[in-house]
Structure 1
Amino acid sequence: MQSVLAQIFGLLLAAVVLVWLFKRIGLPPILAYLATGVLAGSHGIGWMAQSHEIHFVAELGIVFLLFSLGLEFSVGRLMAMRNIVFGLGTMQVVVTTIVFMQILLLMDLSVLSSFTIATLMALSSTAVVVKLLKESGELKQRRGQLAIGMLLFQDIAVVPLLITLPLLAQSSGTEGIAWALTFALTKGALVCLLLWMIGKWVLPKVFSEVALMRTDELFVLTTLVVALFAAGLTYLFGLSMALGAFLAGMMLGESQYRHQLEADIRPFRDILMGLFFVTVGMQLDILYVFSVWYWIVAALALMLVLKIGVITFLAQLMGERKHDAIAAGIMLWQMGEFGFVLIALATKHQLLALDHASFLIAIAVMSMGLTPYLIESTPWLLKQLGLLKNPNGQWQQPPNSSTLYQNHVVICGFSRVGQTIARFLKPEAIEYVAVESNPILVQEAKAAGEPVIFGHVKQKDILKSAGVERARLVIITFTGFEHVQIVIDAIKQIAPDAKILVRMRDDSHLEALKELGVTEMVPETLEASLMLVSHVLSMSGVPMSRIVRRVSKERRNRYQFLHGFFAGDQFDSEENNAERLEYLHVIALPEHAFAVAKNIGELGLEKRRVSVRALRRQDREIERPLLHTILLAGDILVLQGKPRRVERVECYLLDGTD
């Protein structure tokens, strides 16, 4: 047990150090995970033994990745992409397999070995490409859709390949192969139909009930169970676990919980994807790579040119723009993670020699490692080819953020206050989007046509879904200071320059909120006082213009006259932070008081952290008396400060003692 814990600790430590180091020198984290696997594997230092359990856990990373990818799609969108998935995807796999098979036959390999290797090279890495597309924000660009469409068909094509390779090894004839493929496709259609029915009628009701509990842990657990259930169901039918997870995500992608589901699944997805790339790196034999490095380089160059050429030709044949076709080809030039499964299967049934298997594993790992560089260099390459005149303007997109909103207002919380704000924004044609965690409220608001997202605003993925980077203003409508702190921190990490308006019960946290970067804070108790005073003065005959000037002055001065209040003989029982608030206290100066005949400045009240808010002398009231004002017997002072300080100052003003 201790040795296992030591291995896991060493693996995590190496991953942390290498990811940090690679990010510091500008390299993608995928390479860091691959390097960790090379070091940890039997061909490196060898402190981590490969096991079926580790590979199974790592494969869960692909499951969660495809589940989150499915959330980006819907049935309608997938049907709109059917020409890419079943048209371009089919041609890509078939033509690439034929081209590589012809080359391998010319190299005197057998028909079965040539077919096996060619099909491996026709597949690409869903894990690498989808991860990079989600990080770069190109998932919804045309080039990203082309790549995703072909990857989806490749994942479907893995199923008949898993059936065909053992049958080819047994030489059971075309009739047996055809029957097995027909049976596999029938099973696939049935399980897809079953998942569609569950996702259409069962899952929305389940998540509605879970969301009503308002418990983050329950929502996360339900998300994990759904993703694993869908993956396990397709696995039981002999299909890819990733395919089941994608279908489940696609069904839930049409629900109001899509953004929250993606935010909840992301930590598990990223961690397990890192473990997956570690297991990929563990299969690379560095000594073998060095011994045949020239052949590996030649094979990588050949695969790069041929796959990009085939994909570009086929995509243009279907009417796609040339630069999108080339970009999609660059994304898909590498070998895929399912290749490792097919290599193991082909080796087991003696369709591949051991040295050929080692060679293919080396190509697969190195092509995955080179892919992030090539995708990052795509704009420069297209510019060199004259296909992209301004790569920065035409290519780069804001990553991981909704493009539906621009220069809008984000309302955090859509209860009564949030809805009131929305009702005033709508007539002014100011675009807004609200984020709310109450599922019933979200359902009712969406039914009324309100732009509301279900989710918790403390999560950065939810804020990105609301397009907080491009918002003109973010309004936080709830009053819990601890919760508000977390939300402000998340907002500032995404959009450091965002303007934030916060609602609070009072102004006791004003300075803390200013330090956090809040633009404006509205204390509802003080605003209620101002509105009440406005009505009192208006009903007392004071001109409205004078009332407006007075109220505006108080707001400009940060409610200075309203910052304290008279406490009476005991503090308000509802205040939990009474010692942090300042109060108003009235003192009448008798004839022989210590402060009589002295000006306010020489009494040094500021050093005692107590201020004179007002002075009443006979029938005249002076607000904020100046420091050189001399106090007279009979003056009534209104002091502001914390209770204990005010008590000490009262003793000082009366008899000169602290």
Structure 2
Amino acid sequence: MPHDTPLIATIVGGLVLAFIFGALANRMRVPPLVGYLVAGVVAGPFTPGFVADQSLAPELAEIGVILLMFGVGLHFSVKDLLSVKAIAIPGAVAQIGVATLLGMGMSWLVGWSFGAGLIFGLALSVASTAVLLRALQDRHILDSDEGRIAIGWLIVEDIAMVLVLVLIPALGGVLGATHTGGVAHGAAAGNIWLTLAITIGKVIAFVGVMMIVGRRVIPWLLARIASTGSKELFRLAVLAIALGCAFGATVVFGVSFALGAFFAGMMMSESELSHRAAEESLPLRDAFAVLFFVSVGMLFDPSIIVREPLMVLATLAIILVGKSAASFIIVLLFKRPLKTALVISASLAQIGEFSFILASLGIGMGILPPTGKDLILAGAILSILVNPLCFSLSPVIYRWLAKRFGWSTLTLDDAAKTGEERNHTVIVGYGRVGSTAGESLREARQPFAVIEANAELIWKLREKQIPAHCANAVDEDALRAVHVEHANWLLLTLPNAFEAAHVIALARALNPAIRIVARAHSDAEVEYLTERGADYTIMGEREIGLGMSARVMSGLQAAH
């Protein structure tokens, strides 16, 4: 790697390797995320060949986490956050407690100190922001009831870890620290409660500033920039606000980058331009999210699997089984549906960025043995690899539990069962396009059913006596729930052509005679969707152009 261009080499090497291995993973019908992790292992110091800069990669990955959390904030409101506080706060605290105790129990069995066990347990208790968000986005449940609870849970974990990172140096002597490792011990001899109070005060101050000042200034600033008419300047403003708020939150208030970015996005969601802001930042979010997974792979030393196979399995069991079981039981205790409990437990069955920070802090202070850090990293990369399987198994476990134990299978999806519709229309996605189509069908008294991931929209539709199912349409069960096998028409309003193609394949398998209308954004997408079975593909820009020209022609005819 050229010594004078480490940043360029790290970005280029990371993205090129991620593309190669991601494409291979996709070819092998496994999630591209697996390929990104393998690319990181290849670019890491534990394998021969190209080695990316070990100090730059985590910082680039942090930008990915910032942009991901900013994107979530853009689709999340203060109302959404408050609506899940009753389960997210006690649930996250209880789950952190259970996972930490399990980690401490394992460390006690292998003879580690109390301090080492505490840090090890805490590292295994907190889920990765990037992994959780990617999982929710891939399954289109970010705006669902489960997605809101998972995000609220994540925010509570984030705040808890901010407090932990402040308190561990202050408690260094009690935890058995042998040296500071560059960590200040100023509060060690002082009042621990004072340190905790100051930290909580900073978090509250940050939230207050964002709610009072940010809520007014950020939408106002975005509107002023949009009024200039410069698309380039608008895009720059979005990124500057996201990164600036994240960095400022950390420097001034001591909270994490991710939390700062989330609140920046949530305040920007108050603007009418939030949808455009989300679109403008999406390509950069995706690119840096890939670098996050590459950086995780770079930290992994595969030899730990050979050196300590039993300890690796025990660590993985705590993450996949212990954490999942704890969150599953907690959600059920709050009288939430079985499906919600399974989604939350699958979402949290992995660890990530905060785990690495805790491990590095423990090593730096001489509290955690080097093996502990290796186990945390092994647990992280293996749990991230297995996490998609956890989601895939959720429907199977759901059906087995409901059948075996007779547990209530009632969910939001079943709260208002759709009837045995026949000769109706199925609308997938009820945003601006889907709702327009739905209103037209309703006015014409034509029966239709809706598949939509946004729980709030589902309730509104059901209040109007419209059959609606809360789910991701890229799921055969969702299509069956609205009786697509008996439908005449399927209207696909999904903006993503690849997802739409998958739904087309599922719908055709269930109902070969159904007529499918799909949405496209380009001639290439029109061709792609038509080849995959869409009967009609409508491109918005083309229809607008035809409508405008038709208006001109009718005006000319009227003049003559």
Name the TM-score, length of structure 2 as normaliser.
0.74
Note the residue ranges of structure 2 that are not aligned, 5 or more in a row.
175-186, 415-427, 447-491, 505-514
Residues 1:323 and 1:12: Cα distance change in structure 2 (over 3 Å) = closer
Q: Give the length in aligned residue pairs.
A: 465
In structure 1, C-alpha distance between the alignment counterparts of 2:363 and 2:390, rounded to whole Å: 31
Q: CA deviation at 1:521?
A: 8.9
Residues 1:195 and 1:17: Cα distance change in structure 2 (over 3 Å) = same
**2:236 is aligned with what amino acid?**
L
Q: CA deviation at 1:7?
A: 5.7
Q: Deviations over 1:497-541 (max 9, x none)?
A: 3345856889xxxxxxxxxxxxx99534432343345xxxxxxxx
Residues 1:9 and 1:69: Cα distance change in structure 2 (over 3 Å) = closer
Q: Secondary structure at the match of 2:151?
A: helix
Aligned match for 2:34, one of 31, 35, 42? 31
Q: Deviations over 1:152-196 (max 9, x none)?
A: 111111111111221222337797322211111111111221122
Q: CA deviation at 1:360?
A: 1.6
2:242 corresponding residue in structure 1:
227
In structure 2, C-alpha distance between the alignment counterparts of 1:461 and 1:348, rounded to whole Å: 52
Residues 1:302 and 1:160: Cα distance change in structure 2 (over 3 Å) = closer
* TM alignment of 1:256-267, pairs within 5 A: 256-267=272-283
Aligned match for 2:202, one of 187, 195, 202? 187
Aligned match for 2:290, one of 247, 271, 274? 274
1:452 corresponding residue in structure 2:
none
**Structure number with higher relative contact order (C-alpha < 8 Å, ≥ 6 residues apart):** 2
Residues 1:407 and 1:120: Cα distance change in structure 2 (over 3 Å) = closer
Q: Is 2:547 the partner of 1:531?
A: no
Name the TM-score, length of structure 1 as normaliser.
0.63
* TM alignment of 1:418-567, pairs within 5 A: 463=495, 497-499=536-538, 502=542, 523-533=550-560
Q: Is 2:211 the partner of 1:196?
A: yes
Q: Deviations over 1:286-325 (max 9, x none)?
A: 1222232343123312432211221112111111123321
Q: CA deviation at 1:142?
A: 3.0
**2:221 is aligned with what amino acid?**
V
| Identical-residue share of aligned pairs (%) | 26
Between 1:104-113 and 1:193-202, the stretch displaced more is: 104-113
* TM alignment of 1:142-221, pairs within 5 A: 142-171=145-174, 176-221=191-236
* TM alignment of 1:363-374, pairs within 5 A: 363-374=379-390
Q: CA deviation at 1:281?
A: 0.4
Q: Is 2:303 the partner of 1:287?
A: yes
Q: CA deviation at 1:94?
A: 2.4
Which has the higher Rg, Structure 1 or Structure 2? Answer: 1
Between 1:102-111 and 1:299-308, the stretch displaced more is: 102-111
1:360 corresponding residue in structure 2:
376
Partners of 1:408 and 1:473 within 8 A in 2: no
Q: Secondary structure at the match of 1:359?
A: helix
Q: Is 2:125 the partner of 1:122?
A: yes
In structure 2, C-alpha distance between the alignment counterparts of 1:504 and 1:165, rounded to whole Å: 60
Residues 1:216 and 1:287: Cα distance change in structure 2 (over 3 Å) = same
1:91 corresponding residue in structure 2:
94
Partners of 2:44 and 2:299 within 8 A in 1: yes
**1:327 is aligned with what amino acid?**
V
* TM alignment of 1:563-602, pairs within 5 A: none
Q: CA deviation at 1:221?
A: 0.3
Partners of 1:64 and 1:227 within 8 A in 2: yes
1:382 corresponding residue in structure 2:
398
* TM alignment of 1:319-334, pairs within 5 A: 319-334=335-350
Q: Secondary structure at the match of 2:537?
A: coil
Q: Is 2:430 the partner of 1:403?
A: yes
Partners of 1:38 and 1:284 within 8 A in 2: yes
Residues 1:8 and 1:76: Cα distance change in structure 2 (over 3 Å) = closer
Partners of 1:112 and 1:168 within 8 A in 2: no
Residues 1:498 and 1:106: Cα distance change in structure 2 (over 3 Å) = same
In structure 2, C-alpha distance between the alignment counterparts of 1:50 and 1:499, rounded to whole Å: 47
**1:66 is aligned with what amino acid?**
M
1:598 corresponding residue in structure 2:
none
Structure having the larger proportion of residues in helix: 2
